[in-house]
Amino acid sequence: MTVNVGTIDRVLRAVLGVVLLYLAFASGLPLFDGAVFKYGAAIVGVVMLVVAAVRVCPLYAIIGIKTCRT
C-alpha cells in the first residue's frame, strides 16, 4: 500500500491516539468506567497510533484522499 498520510495528519493522529488511551485507562472519568466507552476509546486510540506509525490509512485509500506531498 502506498503512503497516504502526511506529517501534520500523522502528528494529530498520534496525539489523538495517546489522549484516547489516557482517557480510557488513566483519567478516572466516570464516562470511561463503562466497558463500551473504555474499550471503544482504547481500540480507536490504538488504530490511530498504528495509522500514524505506518502512514497508511485504509479509509483514505478507499475514498482516494492523500494528505502527503509525495
The whole-number pLDDT of residue 17 equals 97
The whole-number pLDDT of residue 69 equals 86
User: CA Rg, the chain, in Å?
Assistant: 14
**CA dist list (Å): 46 to 29, 37, 69:** 19, 14, 25
Cell numbers for 58, please give them.
485504509
The whole-number pLDDT of residue 50 equals 97
Structural domain includes residue 70: no
Q: What is the CB neighbour count within 10 angstroms for residue 41?
A: 20
Structural domain includes residue 59: yes
Q: Mean pLDDT throughout 26-49?
A: 95
Q: Is 66 helix (H, G, I), strand (E, B) or coil?
A: coil
Q: What confidence tens digit (pLDDT) does each residue in 2-29 have?
A: 899 999 999 999 999 999 999 999 998 9
Query: pTM of the predicted model, to two decimals?
Result: 0.89
Q: How many domains does one find in the chain?
A: 1
Q: Contact at 8 Å (CB) between 6 and 70?
A: no
Structural domain includes residue 12: yes
Host domain of residue 11: 7-63
Give the mean pLDDT of the chain: 94
Place of cell 483514505: 60
